Structure 1
């Protein structure tokens, strides 16, 4: 896919799938372990509402993460995420599996990630996004970077950026007025 040939505005209008990494995007990337070995993750409610707004606008959602955790399963289920891929270090391979099992493709997919395992997915999607504290190579190849860090509302910015690019954000915000 040649992103240079298409402008960002046109690419955003075709997005029907938004894909999120977890550590560093939906969480702050820190791994906390309780004395019994149980892993704890924190999620931001700002991001959760952004994901729900995407789905309300007809955009499906997915999580692709290199780690596996019960917390991600619970968060995914509570938000109604359409696709969940855990324990997948090769994000592009997982993304290609998702595409082959759905009506989505590279030209209709937005992806947000922050580290090297996300890079190939970011580069192959119509809209690749990242966060300000991402690896420098990821920032170089992303189409857009949020103002907020992962776990602090970055995913919400990503969601609203897509919705704004599709001229759907203002209407979705009206329901809260």
Structure 2
């Protein structure tokens, strides 16, 4: 992990996640009745819980809307959930206005072209290992794990490591 990424992560007060391809593996499952389901990684979930406990606010901005995502966000304690919005940079600007934060205080984890304007604008814009190649090319950093397979946990731990809160969070389990 580079010193440049750690420096960017020190200032983070809000961590934002895309869903499909980041908190999931990107596959969409539709049942015959029209309902859908998604699979989430428990390691990612615990990483998000630890990040919240360390004092960093969290958000999801997703282009799709899903009751499953609403339930997952509630289970994890994610404070801000915005679904059904492809204009993610506009959503980010609104959220920053509400929270009184600057772009440099935001970290974003994405995987595809709709995420790119935010990745390029925030203080720490990262892509998952399984992200589109063009997105990876323009991100500040790339996780070693794929979306839905521990990438969000890696992202959370990077922020916590930079802010000096990771060891204390882990020590609570010793």
Bin for the TM-score computed over the shorter chain: over 0.9
Partner of 2:17: 20
Residues 102-135 of structure 1: CA deviation (Å, up to 9, x unaligned): 1222010000000000000000000011111211
Which secondary structure does the structure 1 equivalent of 2:99 belong to?
coil
Partner of 1:63: 60
| Rounded Cα–Cα distance in structure 2 between residues aligned with 1:8 and 1:27 | 24
Structure 1 stretch 133-142 or stretch 112-121: which is displaced more? 133-142
| Rounded Cα–Cα distance in structure 2 between residues aligned with 1:168 and 1:102 | 22
Partner of 1:114: 111
Partner of 1:146: 143
Contact kept, 8 Å, 2:6 with 2:158, in 1: the verdict is: no
Structure 2: where are the runs of 5+ without partners? none
Size of the aligned set, in residue pairs, is 172
CA positional deviation for 1:154: 0.6
| Rounded Cα–Cα distance in structure 2 between residues aligned with 1:124 and 1:60 | 18
Q: 1:33 aligns with which of 30, 38, 42?
A: 30
What is the TM-score with the length of structure 1 in the denominator?
A: 0.94
2:173 is the counterpart of 1:173: no
Which secondary structure does the structure 1 equivalent of 2:8 belong to?
helix
Residues 3-30 of structure 1: CA deviation (Å, up to 9, x unaligned): xxxx433321110000000000001110
What is the TM-score with the length of structure 2 in the denominator?
A: 0.96
